[in-house]
A and B are shown apart, each in its own frame.
Chain A
Amino acid sequence: MISQIFILSSKGDHLIYKDFRGEASKDSINVFYERVTALSGDQTPVVMAHKDLHFIHVKQGGLYWVASTKTNPSPFTIIEFLNRLAALTKDYCGSLSEKSVRMNFALIYELLDEMVDFGYIQTTSTDILKNFIQTEAVSSKPFSLFDLSNVGLFGAETQQSKVAPSVAASRPIMSSRGEQGGKNEIFVDVIERLSVVIGSKGVLMKSDIQGEIRIKCFLPTSSEMRIGLNEELSIGKSQLKGYSSAVRVDECRFHQAVKLDEFDTFRILKVCPSQGEQTVMQYQLCDELPCAPPFQLFPSVQKDYVNRVLIFLKLRCDLPPKSTALNVSITVPVPKGSVSMSQELSSPDQTAELQPKNKALLWEIPRFPGGAQLSALFKVDVPGLSSASLLEVGPVSMSFELAKQTCSGLQIRFLRLAPSQTGLSQRWVRYVTHSDSYTIRI
Chain B
Amino acid sequence: MPYFGSEETVKELKRALSNPNVHADRLRYKNYISKVIRMKDLDSWAQSEVLTFLLRYRPRSDDQLFDILSLLDSFLQSAHAHVTVATLRLFLQLASAHPAVQADALLRTSAPLLATCGAASRELRFAGLCHVQQVMRSQPGLFGTHYKRFFCGYSEPTYIKFRKMEILVELVNDENVSLVLEELRSYCTDVSPELAQAAIAAIGRIARTYSEKCLDILTGLLALKQDHITSAVIQTFRDLVWFCPQSTAAVCQTVEACVDSPQDSEGKQALLWLLGEHGDQISSAPYVMEGYIDGLKTELSSAVKMELLTASVKMFLCRPAETQDMLGRLLHYCIEEESDVCVRDRALLCYRLLQRGVEETRKVVTGPKSDPSMSVLTGRQEEPISQWTATFNTLGPLSGRDLCPQTAVISAADQPSSSAEKELLPDEEISLSLGSPLSHETFEKMWLDLEILHRQTLGSPRPRTAPDTLQAALQLVKIQTLAFTPGDTVPWKAYIYTRSTGTLILAELLQGDQQAPGSDESLVVSVKQQPVNQHAIRGFVSILKSVLQTLNVDSS
Residue positions of A touching B, CB distance < 8 A = 1, 21-23, 40-49, 52, 54, 56-59, 70-77, 79-83, 118-125, 193, 195, 197, 199, 205-206, 208, 210, 212, 251, 253-256, 282, 284, 286-287, 331, 333, 336, 358-360, 386, 388-389, 391-392, 394-395, 397, 399, 436-439, 441
Contact = CB atoms under 8 A, between A and B. Distances in A.
Interface stretch (B45-53, B330-338, B344-352, B471-479): B45-53
B191 A256 contact: no
8 contacts: A46-B123, A46-B398, A56-B395, A76-B82, A118-B15, A331-B154, A391-B189, A391-B224
Contacts of A74: 48, 52, 82, 85-86, 393-394
B124 A44 contact: no
B124 A71 contact: no
Interface string B10-24: 010011001000000
A38 to B, nearest CB: 15
B45 A439 contact: no
B118 interface: yes
A76 B124 CA distance: 7
A397 B190 CA distance: 12
Contacts of B226: 336, 392
A72 B186 contact: no
Contact of A42 (B49, B82, B162, B393): B162
B117 to A, nearest CB: 11
B396 A72 contact: yes
Contact of B45 (A22, A23, A75, A122): A122
Given A80-B80, A359-B191, A389 B224 contact: yes
B189 A42 contact: no
B399 A45 contact: no
A79 B149 contact: no
A212 B224 CA distance: 43
A336 B82 CA distance: 44
B127 interface: yes
Nearest to B116: A76
Most chain-B CB neighbours within 10 Å: which of A74, A199, A284, A439?
A: A74
B406 A441 contact: no
Given A71-B408, A76-B393, A360-B191, A124 B159 contact: no
B179 A205 contact: yes
B45 to A, nearest CB: 4
- 7 A-B pairs with the lowest CB-CB distances in the bound complex, closest first: A437-B153, A76-B82, A47-B399, A121-B45, A397-B154, A47-B398, A77-B82
Main secondary structure on B side of the interface with A: helix
Given A124-B45, A193-B120, A255-B79, A75 B127 contact: yes
Contact of B127 (A46, A81, A125, A287): A46
Given A80-B80, A255-B79, A392-B224, A286 B191 contact: no
Contacts of B191: 333, 358-360
B14 A118 contact: yes
Contact of A71 (B14, B121, B190, B409): B409
B81 interface: yes
Contacts of B148: 205-206, 208, 286-287
A435 to B, nearest CB: 9
A54 B395 contact: yes
Interface in B25-46: 43-45
A47 B45 contact: no
Given A74-B393, A287-B148, A394-B189, A388 B225 contact: yes
B194 interface: yes
Contacts of B403: 49
A254 B79 CA distance: 6
Nearest to B189: A394
Contact of A123 (B43, B121, B198, B400): B43
Contact of B194 (A42, A124, A199, A212): A42
B85 A41 contact: no
B400 A44 contact: yes
B154 A76 contact: no
A40 B158 CA distance: 10
Contacts of A40: 194
B398 A44 contact: yes
Contacts of B122: 58-59
A71 B406 contact: yes
Contacts of B186: 394-395, 441
B405 interface: yes
Interface in B368-400: 393-396, 398-400
Nearest to A43: B159
Nearest to B220: A391
A255 B80 CA distance: 8
B158 A41 contact: yes
